[in-house]
Amino acid sequence: MNNSSKNCLLTINGGSSSIKYALYEIEDALNPVFSAEMEGIGSGKTQLHSKKLEGVQEHAIIEIANHTEAAEWIVEWLKKEFIEVKAIGHRIVQGMEHTLPDIITEELIERLKSVSAYDPEHLPSEIKLIEVFRKHYPDLDQVVCFDTAFHNDMPDVAKLVPIPLKYRDKGVKRYGFHGLSYAYLLQEFERIEGTEKAKEKIIIAHLGSGASLAAIKDRKSVDTSMGFTPASGLTMSTRSGDIDPGVAWYLQKFEKLTPSQFNHMVNHESGLFAISETTADMQQLLKLEQKDKRAAEAVDFFCYQCVKWIGAFTAALGGLDTLIFSGGIGEHAPKIRERICAKLRFLGIDLDVPKNEKNEEVISKSASKISVRVMKTNEELIIAQSVCTALNYNIKFK
């Protein structure tokens, strides 16, 4: 790949052990030219998956110890390929009170560092990514896009954490996450179905290794399953989701877990992995469930939790018009969608099983009271669009 003649926008989407990055050529519109993902950073065998505009895919194993090394690797790759970068957009999980993307300054970085304890699994590594790219591109416009911003308009009652005011005054509340994904999916849904449909009662299930659901009405977040941190809400691959706070007290007092050990447990040793004791991967669990009782229990628990959250959010919305599945599990696990929808028939969901098996865009029958969709999310594109808006680029979005 050689993009020496291209004027590109780079997006950086850092996770706790992964980085997705993409390049968009900036002309009259945003034209995707390249995307890649590093998985398993720090494991000793980081997997690199890349896809060029022409559709050519490549896979490699590289040695990357941490996010700083990963960022340095990307910078060297950009230089080697003679890629001219005009601007960089970063995803930041915790955005405090920010409602819009913001241009990166030293003051903003210090503010992010001051709230790193809000999300120690993501924020420190995301800040390191920013610092590396600012070091190599000190004169470049760089913008942060906040995952929490989509949920900023949630009603106060949905943000409230019922603990003493002195802690709430320090920022302890329900923020919600996966906001960039929800923003893209709602935008795409509106493009397909129109503004009036987008104003209806919608639940989006972003089901992947990190999983959450959002209740949306009048194009705004009404409630979401994740709260103060991305470890809360729905049970995930290795994250616990909601658990009794007494569990933390018991494990720290009687099992002698330190706060750091407890945090590591609920983020990396819990969820589907803890229930199955074999794997956190849903596709593998589905293959094992017929002969492995614990694998079957993990799958059942995940579906049961999804049904509970969808039921609760339907009540919060006062009804439901559209249910959207997205994320790795939501897009590629028809058996999971079928099991969830089967327990929601009382709401009026009538699934079209053949369409569901084929992962079609609409998987409900035409007579279904509630439309059920499968949609691929694109956080990188929404980051790129947000950068263009923040920097006042005259770009037409498709």
Token digits of residue 176: 């919600």
Catalytic residue set: 147
Q: Of all helices (H) and strands (E), which one includes residue 61?
A: strand 57-62
Dihedral angle, C-alpha 173, 119, 387, 105, nearest 10 °: 100
**DSSP tag of 111:** H
**Cβ(26)–Cβ(9) below 8 Å:** yes
**CA atoms of 367 and 348, how far apart (whole Å):** 9
Buried b (16+ CB within 10 A) or exposed e, 5-31: ebebbbbbbbbbbbbbbbbbbbeeebe
With both helix axes pointing from N to C terminus, report the angle between 123-136 and 67-80 in degrees, rounded to the nearest 10: 30
Token digits of residue 345: 């028939």
Across the beta sheet with 7-14, what order do the strands follow? 57-62, 46-52, 30-39, 18-26, 7-14, 84-92, 141-146, 102-103
Q: Residue 57's Cα: distance from chain center in Å?
A: 23
